[in-house]
Amino acid sequence: MRLADFIVRDMEAILVQWEAFAATLLPAAADMQSLALRDHAQAILEAVAKDLRTSQTREAQAEKSKGRAPKLIDAPETAAQTHALLRARGGFNINQMAAEYRALRASVLRLWMDECQPDAPHLNDIIRFNEAIDQAIAESVGFFSAHVEQARNLLLGMLGHDMRSPLQTIQMTASYLAALNAGEKVSEAASCLIRSGARMHALLDDMLDFNRTNLGLGITIAPTPVDLASLLADELNQLRAAHPDRQIDIEVVGDAQGVWDGRRLQQLLGNLVLNAIKYGAPDAPVRVLLAGEEAELSLEVRNSGPAIEPVALKQIFEPLKRGPNCGGGHDADSSLGLGLYIAREIAKAHGGDIEARSDEAETVFAVHLPRRR
């Protein structure tokens, strides 16, 4: 018997085994009834049977085995995609959903091979069946991942928005306590609250910026005419106050006036300098060079220290990653690993770019910003 005919004829026996396995996927399946456990399994199997009966070229089969079967324009969701969405909403994890397909593959082939005895099963049916299951897995995993990603982004957005109000209250109360001048202990406690609140605020801003870029919205900028030399000098003064044990130098060459988002470029510089402080040699200065040319403005942050490995250098602007040689301390632990990623996104929002190079002599982050977009 051909496999497609077997699947259609023995659908109920296959579904019983699917349901029995799905019931073991706890805790999500604990309170699910038969209909929910079988969710879209019959539609998936019917699609597989139809696929087995459809003539296909070798190229089409190869693409399908890689999960890259062509999708018709304006076609509705496939059964596998809808199944993934409902499993994600039902509390299943992606490994449990993939396990359903592995169990389905094994049970269908085992039941069919038993039915074929004493004749040998049709080899091409096995190949085509595996290709169809691989395509269904790819569709399910893609939809499941997209749903989880969307839910995570919405959660981050709501969390970031809702945390701003209580954080501002904490900072205002701490500033009020500091202004009371009610003794050394109260002043120290207020200063600690203010510093911690500032760190939380920076982390929150990073999280919201990351969330926007992850949603494809990009970094928001509001360009105005600015003197970038003055703005960046102010940013470095704040960094020197926060890190009095570190030397931070700046050199300005040429015209630094233009139309940019000054606050965002202060954030970009702050991220690059903090990165240099964390990973650079503690006894060597961090050097900032701002050069204004006719067509663009360039900004470089240089520090001495261990060279960055080529593999790490290629991934250095990827989000949620931190270097292996982080200098330690509280400030080193108060990072989400988003500083360089956000610096890159700020440069991109201005129509510019950023690059990193590193050798035994020094590590350099170079930003290039066009004067006109």
Regarding whether 310 and 207 lie in a shared domain, the answer is: no
Regarding whether 202 and 240 lie in a shared domain, the answer is: no
Regarding whether 147 and 15 lie in a shared domain, the answer is: yes
Domain encompassing residue 363: 224-370
Regarding whether 201 and 119 lie in a shared domain, the answer is: yes
Task: Report pLDDT digits (tens) over 113-157.
Answer: 999 999 889 999 999 999 999 999 999 999 998 888 777 766 666
Higher pLDDT, 185 or 224: 224
Is residue 290 within 8 A of residue 256, CB to CB? The reply is yes
Provide the CATH number for the domain around residue 305.
3.30.565.10
User: How long a stretch of residues is the chain?
Assistant: 373
Q: How sure is the predictor about 324, in pLDDT bands with cuts at 50, 70 and 90?
A: low
| The predicted structure's pLDDT at residue 225 | 93
User: Is beta strand 286-292 parallel, antiparallel or unpaired with respect to 257-260?
Assistant: unpaired
Partners of 226 in beta bridges: 258
Which stretches of the chain are assigned E, i.e. beta strand? 224-227, 248-254, 257-260, 286-292, 296-303, 353-358, 363-370
Domain end (from 218, 237, 256): 218
| The predicted structure's pLDDT at residue 44 | 94
| Residue of 345, 260, 250 lying closest to 296 (CA atoms) | 260
Give the total number of structural domains in the chain: 2
Looking at the predicted structure, is the pLDDT value of residue 270 above 80?
Answer: yes
Looking at the predicted structure, is the pLDDT value of residue 9 above 50?
Answer: yes
Regarding whether 207 and 269 lie in a shared domain, the answer is: no
Regarding whether 201 and 86 lie in a shared domain, the answer is: yes
Q: How sure is the predictor about 329, in pLDDT bands with cuts at 50, 70 and 90?
A: very low
Looking at the predicted structure, is the pLDDT value of residue 330 above 50?
Answer: no
Regarding whether 237 and 212 lie in a shared domain, the answer is: no
Regarding whether 333 and 204 lie in a shared domain, the answer is: no
Domain end (from 218, 235, 259): 218
Regarding whether 168 and 45 lie in a shared domain, the answer is: yes
Is residue 85 within 8 A of residue 143, CB to CB? The reply is yes
Q: How sure is the predictor about 186, in pLDDT bands with cuts at 50, 70 and 90?
A: confident
Q: How far apart are CA 26 and CA 91, in angstroms?
A: 9
Regarding whether 163 and 20 lie in a shared domain, the answer is: yes
pTM as predicted: 0.56
Domain end (from 218, 235, 264): 218
Regarding whether 172 and 304 lie in a shared domain, the answer is: no
Regarding whether 209 and 244 lie in a shared domain, the answer is: no
Cβ contacts of residue 312 below 8 Å, gap of 6+?
323, 324
User: For the purposes of burial, counting CB atoms within 10 Å of the CB of 64, is it exposed (0-12), middle (13-18) or buried (19 or more)?
Assistant: buried
What's the token pair of residue 238? 């704040």
| Residue of 97, 92, 127, 107 lying closest to 45 (CA atoms) | 107
Q: How far apart are CA 341 and CA 109, in angstroms?
A: 47
